[in-house]
Chains A and B, each alone.
Chain A
Amino acid sequence: MATKRLMKEFSLIKKEIKSNPEYSNVIFLEPLDNLFEWRCILKGPAKTPFEQGKWELSVQVPEQYPIQPPKLKFKNKICHPNINFNTGEICLNILNQDQWSPAWNLLSTAVAVLLLLQNPEPTSPLNIDIANILKLNDKMAYDSLIRYYTYRFGNAEI
C-alpha cells in the first residue's frame, strides 16, 4: 500500500507544487534514491522572522505509511520554540501516532510544519530559551534572534 500511495503522491506533487499558490513555500519535495526517504526544502513564510530563510528537512516514511506518520527533521539549524536547535526534531502534534490521520499526505505535512513556523506553541517547547522569550512577550528580542539565526543558518539549497 505504501509504495503505491507514495508513487501517487510523487506524481501529484510534481503537478501541484508549482501551480498551487497554497504550496508556494514548499520549494522542493522529492524522494531520494528510494520512496521511503524524501528530501524537502521549505521557505520561511513572509511576514515572519523566518522570511528569506530556506531549510532542508529529511522525511522518513515508515513501511506502515499512511497508517503511521512520516518522521520529519530539520537538517540545518533553526531557532524556533518547538524545534530542537541541535537535533532538528520537531514537536508537532500531527506527527505523533495518536494525532496523525492517514488522510494527510507528505505535502500537507510540509504545510503543517510551515504553519508551525508561523504559529509557535511556547507551552510545549523543544527550545526553551526562545520559548521563554516568547512567553515573556518580548517581540523584539524574539524576532531579532530568529532573524539572526535565519540569516546565519537558513540557507539550504535545492
Chain B
Amino acid sequence: MNGFTDPNHITDPTDFKTTSIPKIFEIDSLLRCHICKEFLNAPMLTSCGHTFCSVCIRKCLMHTAKCPICSKEIRESNLSRNVVLEQLVTSYKIIRPDLLKKLVVKQDQQQNIIDKQPEVIDLDDEEDEGKEEEEEDDDDVEEEIIIVEETKKRKNSSSIESMFKRQKKEDRKPNPNTGVCPICSKVYPLEELQTTHIDACLANPQPKSEPPRLEKTIKNSSSSPFSKSFFQPKENINNYKKLTKLDYSSLSTPQLKTKLSKLELPTLGTRHELETRYNEYLILWNANCDSINAKNPKVLRSQLAKWESSIKVKFEGDKKLDKDGWKELIKKARESLKKDPVNTDNEKNDARGEIDCNQHGD
C-alpha cells in the first residue's frame, strides 16, 4: 500500500459538473497544475506565460528544458513566483468544500426537474403542456432548469455571503479563549500561548512557517490571506537561501558527503544514491523557497526520506499491490462514495461497473 493516498482526498474539477453552477469546473481546473493535476503549490510563472507547481516544473526541467504546454524552451533561472495566484489557490482551497456542499444539486431535486413534477411545471402554461409535441416539451424542460438554477444561485450566493459575514464577525470578536502570539502573530489557545508557545517561538523563529493545527487559525488566515505578505514581507521571503546545482564530475564522494551532512541529510548509500538524494532535496528545497508558507527544513527532510523509501520499494520490484491490497483499496473507494454526500448515484454506478470490469480484467 506504500504511497497510496486516501481515496477520500481525491478531488477533481468534474466534482462541480453536477452542481448548480457547473462553470466553476473551469475555475477549479485553472487553479490546478498541469503536471500533477493538484492545486498549484508555490506556483511559478514560466517565460512563456504558463504556470506550474514549483516542484513539478523543476523536476520537469531537469529532464527537458521545454514548457510542458507549449514546448517552448524555458530555463529554471527564468521562473518567477506568482504570489497572487498562490494566495488565490490558498483561499479557494479553503472554501472549496463549503462551496461544493452548498452548490450540489440533490439527486431528488434533479429527478424533479427531469420528471417535471407539478411544482416546477406550475411556472409554465398548463395548456401548452398537453398540446405541444415532445420536442417542444424538451425546450420547456430546459427553461425550467434555468429558472430553478437561477433561484438556486440566488439562494447560494446569499448563503456564501453569510458565510463570509460570519467570518468577519469572528474576526471582530475574537474567541476569549485564544490570543495572538506577539512574535509570530498567529492565534493560539490562551493556555498554550502562556505556557509553552511564546518560549518555543522565541527560542526558534521557524515555527512561524509551520501552521499550528488549529482550525481557528486556519480560518483566520483565510479571511486575510494576503495580509501576511503585505505587512510582513521580509519574514516569509528569503528566510531560506536557494541551493545551487552541483557539478558532480568535479566533486569527490567525501566532498559530496560533507555537502549532504551540512544540509543534515543522510550520507549513506552509493554514489548514485547520494546524487539522486541531493537532486531531489535541491528541488524540494528550492520549491519550498518559492512558497509563501515555507515549511521547516525538518518537514522537507521527512518528505525526502519518504520519497527515498518509496523509490527503494520500487527498486525491489515490490511495487505490485497484492490481490488483497487492491481489494482493500476498492472497498475504501466504495465506502468513501457511500459516505460522501457530494457524490451522485451516477458515480456509484460507475464504481460498480469498474469493479465488474476488474474482475473481467483478472
- Give A contacts to B, CB under 8 Å: 1, 3-5, 7-9, 11-12, 14-16, 18, 28, 30, 32-36, 39, 63, 66-68, 97-98, 101-103, 105, 158
Contact = CB atoms under 8 A, between A and B. Distances in A.
B245 interface: no
Contacts of A30: 354, 357-358, 361
A41 B286 CA distance: 42
Given A15-B12, A66-B36, A102-B60, 9 more contacts: A1-B59, A4-B5, A4-B38, A7-B4, A30-B357, A33-B321, A67-B63, A101-B68, A103-B34
A7 B350 contact: no
Given A34-B319, A67-B63, A7 B357 contact: no
Given A3-B3, A33-B320, A67-B60, A14 B351 contact: yes
Contact of B34 (A15, A32, A68, A102): A102
Contact of A158 (B17, B34, B357): B357
B14 A12 contact: yes
Contacts of A101: 66, 68-69, 71
B12 A12 contact: yes
A66 B360 CA distance: 28
Nearest to A157: B360
A58 B17 CA distance: 31
A7 B12 CA distance: 11
Interface residues of B, number: 39
A97 B71 CA distance: 13
A55 to B, nearest CB: 16
A39 B354 CA distance: 12
A156 to B, nearest CB: 12
B7 interface: yes
Contact of A15 (B4, B5, B35, B347): B347
6 contacts: A14-B347, A14-B351, A33-B320, A66-B36, A67-B59, A67-B60
B362 A33 contact: yes
A1 B319 CA distance: 14
B7 A7 contact: yes
Nearest to B358: A30
B30 to A, nearest CB: 14
Given A33-B323, A63-B314, A103-B69, A11 B357 contact: no
The 6 closest A-B pairs by CB, nearest first: A103-B34, A101-B68, A102-B35, A103-B68, A3-B3, A102-B68
Contacts of B17: 15
Nearest to A99: B71
Contacts of B362: 33
B54 to A, nearest CB: 13
B37 A9 contact: yes
A32 B351 CA distance: 15
Nearest to A68: B63
A31 B68 CA distance: 25
A64 B63 CA distance: 10
Contacts of B322: 33
Given A1-B36, A30-B357, A102-B34, A7 B321 contact: no
